[in-house]
């Protein structure tokens, strides 16, 4: 049985003060939850988030990292720096990073390898554009993204990954993929993982859906056979809404 994992990707939202307020409001609402709960604030709020969530079921992740340990990469943050702050998860390859910040399958792969070396749990994001879906290319695109992201990983490393299927057309648009469509793609992803490792790892690995997940659609999504959690943007910014997702 795979334990569900609900993660909030705060994106470029919340000052440190706002982050602290949100965490304080969230904590009492999720004490009895049976799922893994992760919040991914901006780098600046990570230290406060780790401190404030200590002793609570909430774990902290980051939204990105560089694959090098240090060096002349102005504006970047390394996995080592994040690890020192006490994060446990790292979102890698979010479509917004692919779209606006030149993230490629190759850099995603380097970051996944680095994160695993640091014992961070990567949440690897994949997903197709609306044009790709309309041209029946979704399967090909997602399959390629997963294969490239996981290239060179050992079976054990693969078993420690979380993969998030986030169709780009569903992100921040209010258009959720139907639960059947989302489940179908998560099933394809599980097949690819099986090809790259084996049946037991494919059955163990957790696959999230992301894209306009809200309190009114979480239950149906989570009821699908291949969907083990959600990666949530907008609805993770309000304590009551995120708590409703966690306590679905």
Q: Which of 59, 66, 94, 133 binds ligand 13P (CB under 6 A)?
A: 94
Closest CA to 166 of 196, 201, 138, 203: 138
Choose one: 152-160, 188-196, 229-237, 239-247; the region binding ligand 13P (CB under 6 A): 229-237
Work out whether 234 is an interface residue with ligand 13P (CB under 6 A): yes
The residues pairing with 185 across neighbouring beta strands, listed in sequence order, are none
218 vs 242: CA distance, rounded Å: 11
DSSP summary character for residue 55: T
Q: Which of 197, 208, 212, 241 binds ligand 13P (CB under 6 A)?
A: 212
Give how many residues touch ligand 13P by CB under 6 A.
14
Closest CA to 152 of 189, 123, 200, 116: 116
Output Rg (C-alpha) for the chain, integer angstroms: 17
N-term to C-term CA, the chain: 17
| 180 SS3 class | helix
Q: Which of 59, 133, 233, 239 binds ligand 13P (CB under 6 A)?
A: 233
- How is residue 67 written in tokens? 């694959």
Work out whether 149 is an interface residue with ligand 13P (CB under 6 A): no
Work out whether 37 is an interface residue with ligand 13P (CB under 6 A): no
Q: Which is nearer to ligand 13P, 79 or 210 (CB)?
A: 210
Q: Which is nearer to ligand 13P, 132 or 201 (CB)?
A: 132
What residues line the site for ligand 13P (CB under 6 A)?
A: 9, 94, 166, 171-172, 210-213, 231-235
Catalytically active residues, by annotation: 94, 166
């Amino acid at each position: 049985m795979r334990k569900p994992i609900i993660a909030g990707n705060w994106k470029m939202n919340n000052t440190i003060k706002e982050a602290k307020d949100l965490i304080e409001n969230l904590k009492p609402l999720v004490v009895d939850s049976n799922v893994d709960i992760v919040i991914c604030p901006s780098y600046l709020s990570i230290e406060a988030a780790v401190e404030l969530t200590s002793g609570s079921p909430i774990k902290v992740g980051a939204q990105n990292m560089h694959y090098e340990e240090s060096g002349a990469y102005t504006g970047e943050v390394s996995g080592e720096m994040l690890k020192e702050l006490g994060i446990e998860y790292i979102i890698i390859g979010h479509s917004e990073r692919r779209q606006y910040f030149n993230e490629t399958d190759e850099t995603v792969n380097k970051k996944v390898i680095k994160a695993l070396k640091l014992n961070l749990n990567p949440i690897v994001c994949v997903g197709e554009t609306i044009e790709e879906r309309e041209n029946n290319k979704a399967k090909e695109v997602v399959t390629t993204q997963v294969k490239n992201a996981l290239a060179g990983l050992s079976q054990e490393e693969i078993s420690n990954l979380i993969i998030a299927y986030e169709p780009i057309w569903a992100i921040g648009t209010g258009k959720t993929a139907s639960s059947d469509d989302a489940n179908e793609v998560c099933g394809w992803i599980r097949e690819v993982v099986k090809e790259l490792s084996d049946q037991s790892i494919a059955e163990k690995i957790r696959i999230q859906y992301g894209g306009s997940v809200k309190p009114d659609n979480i239950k149906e999504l989570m009821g699908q056979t291949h969907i083990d959690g959600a990666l949530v943007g907008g609805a993770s910014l309000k304590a009551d809404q995120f708590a409703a997702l966690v306590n679905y």
